Structure 1
Amino acid sequence: MTTISRIYKEIEDHPEGAIPFVRFMELALYDEEGGYYTKSSQKIGKEGDFFTSASVHPVFAETLADVVAEMWEAGKWRAPALVEIGGGTGSLCKGMLARLQENSPKLFDSIQVVLIEASPYHRELQKQALAKWALPVRAYASLEEAAKSESLEGVVLSNEWFDAFPVHIAEKTEKGWQEVWVAKNGDSLEECLRETAPALADYLAGIDNGLPMGMRVEANMKIGETFACLSRLIRSGYVLTIDYGDLQEELYHPSRKRGTLMCYHRHQADDNPYERVCEKDITAHVNFSALIRAGEQEGFQKAAYMRQDQFLIRSGILEKAVNHTDRDPFTSQAMKRNRAIQQLIYPGGLGGMFRVLVQAKGEEASRRLRFQNGERNWGKR
């Protein structure tokens, strides 16, 4: 059965004649038979549907590797772990390991690598990307699975992972908040509104500070469960999250009246998830306030929250620019590297769009790292 057929069948079999949007998004992205992320197709880079900071240039991985090395030095762990969640092609982890091998050989020799990836296609790509090293690499299909098997000290890294969580969508109407469901209309899909479940209603009550009628918001209701798993996985260490989103007061603002849900196909963006189902990415901005709160409940303290440009600059990315006398921008590796640095820290692009949240558990919470120097709240534009 194809994924779209499965979606139609669930709609037809449901007593309401519809399913919550969150279930539609879950099937469209992660259905084992043909969800967007589980299919064997290129998604990242020029030939895919979207770019990530990691796909711009290896200098991004080099900078993060230096951050991780500093965290490991602060933790003084005997068997430091690097855990990457949702690593896609494995290029980020590969670039970080290459940098660690070159600049921190003692740390590299003691490293444990744990990869958590829902997509079988991407798990295979990650295996190939790391095949050159005889390192202990353990791979899991889910965070829950990893948390049952591992108890680690080290760093958990994710780059554009939380934005791909299936989300509930709610709309403020004259009847109050209602949840968006998905129904069939002939051979197409359409939205309808239903009453909100108690947990979602509580979440909406917590964010509604006079939001206008017609306002739409997305809610990731799995954040608490996710941090409970992270707390079981990491005895002591850091969670480093890079994603697009905002603090709650900025995310749920009247200027974003129609929400933040977006789709990407062949580098074209649109806001209609009901076309090209399973052929395009569906994402929503991350509520970083919710990540901070959930982390605190599980023993993780906020060590830093800022824009990507500020984080990378404080972490030394400008020091990785190279002097040169090259003139041909098409062949010069030095010019490509310097352009990539500019792209990664450009406030009007990737640098200002993405946020970096660092959370610490254990004694690490009291240690100050390089990127924390002079920190203030860079969350607001």
Structure 2
Amino acid sequence: MDLNTLIREEMQKECKKAIPFSRYMELALYHPTYGYYMSDKPKVGKEGDFFTSATVHSVFAETVADAVIKMWRAGNIKAPTLVEIGGGTGALCGHMLDRFREAVPDLYPLLTVIMIEASPYHRKIQQEVLSSHDVAKEWFTSLEEAANQRQIEGVIVSNEWLDAFPVHIAEKTKAGWQEVWVTDGGDGFLEGLNEVTPELGRYLESLDMTLPAGMRIEVNLSLQQAAKAVSRLLKKGFVITIDYGDLQEELYHPSRKQGTLMCYYRHQAHDNPYIHTGGQDITAHVNFSAWSKYGEDVGLREWAYMRQDRFLIKSGLLEKAVAHTDTDPFTSMAMKRNRAIMQVMDPAGLGGRFRVMVQAKGLDEEIKKSLYE
């Protein structure tokens, strides 16, 4: 039995002999045995399929850690908790802990780290990466599980978490909205348009935008539930969400007529989710307008929204550049560090494509001025 066979069997059980794209994406990424994120293979870095800012160089994590320290201090959080959702290889959390140990030796021993990670493969790697840090550590397999058991004061961080949620794909036709469904084409999977599922239909009815015929959009219907769970987990503190995406008016602009769905396989980007099923990453841009709205509904107030380059500069990234007289770019650690700084803040690359949203709960608005004004 393989993933393609399992998906085909599920299709055959449906009256349409097809499943919504969101279900196909869910199986491709999260099937307990064969899903991409659940498999025992590298996904991030040179041996994987894509890079993240956190894997480019530790300077990214150091800068995020400095932003978190400012939040802890501003919020008067004396025994803080750091939560990371979807931490993958543990690189971001590991380097942040290195920075905490160095920069805030008074807070470091009081720190609790909570990792929320669905993949057993990644949980094992994270445990190895974080083993050198003598702080309290906990692991949960889902955000819901963590929110049901814990309520924390501190900061919840995610880097490329929301973009990996399964999405519905809707297409505006002359007759109205239809949804992309996936069926068995014999030699592979095929997509076609059919009626929208009820929950997607309700979302599209509430969409306060006029979009042209032929326009495709991705809709993440799990954002609202995720915001509720984050708010339940966070008693007091901040949420830092780093991801590629946009506000709704930019995301659903006619210039993006084909939507934003992308796949990554061995560092090659393409737009065909029906090949390498279970063996490639599938992502879609985050609707930060929706994330902000759902957060506001449950007490997570938006305090800042900006491009990654601006967030990193405001958090002190440029001060981490190293003066040197080295001449060999292959051996110089200083030159490597400075190149990484340019890479994570490149307006045409990571710095410009990624957005950072900061939300707060249980804190006085006056604190916002000291952090972002």
> TM-score range, shorter-chain basis?
over 0.9
SS of the residue 2:74 aligns to: helix
Paired with 2:364 and 2:243, the residues of 1 have a C-alpha distance of 23
Q: Which residue of 1 aligns with 2:21?
A: 21
Paired with 1:179 and 1:214, the residues of 2 have a C-alpha distance of 12
Q: Which residue of 1 aligns with 2:46?
A: 46
Q: Which residue of 2 aligns with 1:310?
A: 310
Alignment deviations for residues 219-260 of structure 1 (CA, whole Å, 9 cap, x no partner)? 000111011111110111111000000000000000000000
Q: How many residues align?
A: 373
Aligned pair 1:360/2:360, yes or no? yes
Q: Which residue of 1 aligns with 2:92?
A: 92
The percent of aligned pairs where both chains have the same amino acid is 58
Paired with 2:208 and 2:270, the residues of 1 have a C-alpha distance of 27
Q: What is the CA distance between 1:175 and its match in structure 2?
A: 2.0
Q: Which residue of 2 aligns with 1:340?
A: 340
Q: Which residue of 2 aligns with 1:262?
A: 262
Q: What is the CA distance between 1:169 and its match in structure 2?
A: 0.4
Aligned pair 1:151/2:159, yes or no? no
SS of the residue 1:5 aligns to: helix
CA contact (8 A) 2:72 2:78 kept: no
Paired with 1:160 and 1:236, the residues of 2 have a C-alpha distance of 23
SS of the residue 1:367 aligns to: helix
In structure 2, the CA distance between the partners of 1:370 and 1:7, relative to structure 1 (3 Å rule), is farther
Paired with 2:369 and 2:55, the residues of 1 have a C-alpha distance of 26
Letter in 2 for 1:39: S
Paired with 1:139 and 1:366, the residues of 2 have a C-alpha distance of 34
Q: Which residue of 2 aligns with 1:195?
A: 195
Q: Which residue of 2 aligns with 1:123?
A: 123
Q: What is the CA distance between 1:369 and its match in structure 2?
A: 6.1
Q: What is the CA distance between 1:336 and its match in structure 2?
A: 0.5
Q: Which residue of 2 aligns with 1:75?
A: 75
Q: Which residue of 2 aligns with 1:376?
A: none
SS of the residue 2:352 aligns to: helix
Paired with 2:48 and 2:198, the residues of 1 have a C-alpha distance of 39
Alignment deviations for residues 297-347 of structure 1 (CA, whole Å, 9 cap, x no partner)? 000111100000000001100000010000000000000001100111111
Paired with 1:23 and 1:303, the residues of 2 have a C-alpha distance of 34
Greater shift in the superposed pair: 126-135 or 252-261: 126-135
Paired with 1:217 and 1:101, the residues of 2 have a C-alpha distance of 44
Letter in 2 for 1:129: V
Q: What is the CA distance between 1:365 and its match in structure 2?
A: 4.3
Paired with 2:282 and 2:25, the residues of 1 have a C-alpha distance of 8
Q: What is the CA distance between 1:192 and its match in structure 2?
A: 1.6
Q: Which residue of 2 aligns with 1:5?
A: 5
Alignment deviations for residues 61-104 of structure 1 (CA, whole Å, 9 cap, x no partner)? 10011111111112222321100000000011000000000010
Segments of structure 1 that go 5 or more residues without pairing to the other structure are 374-381
Paired with 1:321 and 1:203, the residues of 2 have a C-alpha distance of 46
Aligned pair 1:327/2:327, yes or no? yes
Letter in 1 for 2:197: A
SS of the residue 1:241 aligns to: strand
Letter in 2 for 1:264: Y
Greater shift in the superposed pair: 189-198 or 317-326: 189-198
Q: What is the CA distance between 1:208 and its match in structure 2?
A: 5.6
Alignment deviations for residues 257-280 of structure 1 (CA, whole Å, 9 cap, x no partner)? 000000000110110000110110
SS of the residue 2:145 aligns to: helix
Alignment of 1:155-234 (within 5 A): 155-207=155-207, 209-234=209-234
CA contact (8 A) 1:157 1:241 kept: yes
Paired with 2:221 and 2:372, the residues of 1 have a C-alpha distance of 30
CA contact (8 A) 1:2 1:33 kept: no
Letter in 1 for 2:38: T
State TM-score, norm by structure 1.
0.96
Paired with 1:62 and 1:268, the residues of 2 have a C-alpha distance of 28
Paired with 2:152 and 2:210, the residues of 1 have a C-alpha distance of 43
Letter in 1 for 2:352: G
Q: What is the CA distance between 1:47 and its match in structure 2?
A: 1.3
CA contact (8 A) 2:110 2:135 kept: no
SS of the residue 2:6 aligns to: helix
Letter in 1 for 2:124: E
Q: Which residue of 2 aligns with 1:66?
A: 66
Q: Which residue of 2 aligns with 1:57?
A: 57
Segments of structure 2 that go 5 or more residues without pairing to the other structure are none
Paired with 1:208 and 1:368, the residues of 2 have a C-alpha distance of 30
Paired with 2:313 and 2:269, the residues of 1 have a C-alpha distance of 29
Letter in 1 for 2:95: G
Q: Which residue of 1 aligns with 2:137?
A: 137
Paired with 1:325 and 1:40, the residues of 2 have a C-alpha distance of 43
CA contact (8 A) 1:207 1:252 kept: no
Alignment deviations for residues 146-190 of structure 1 (CA, whole Å, 9 cap, x no partner)? 001101101000000000000000011122101111000113110
CA contact (8 A) 1:207 1:248 kept: no
Letter in 2 for 1:219: V
CA contact (8 A) 2:158 2:242 kept: yes
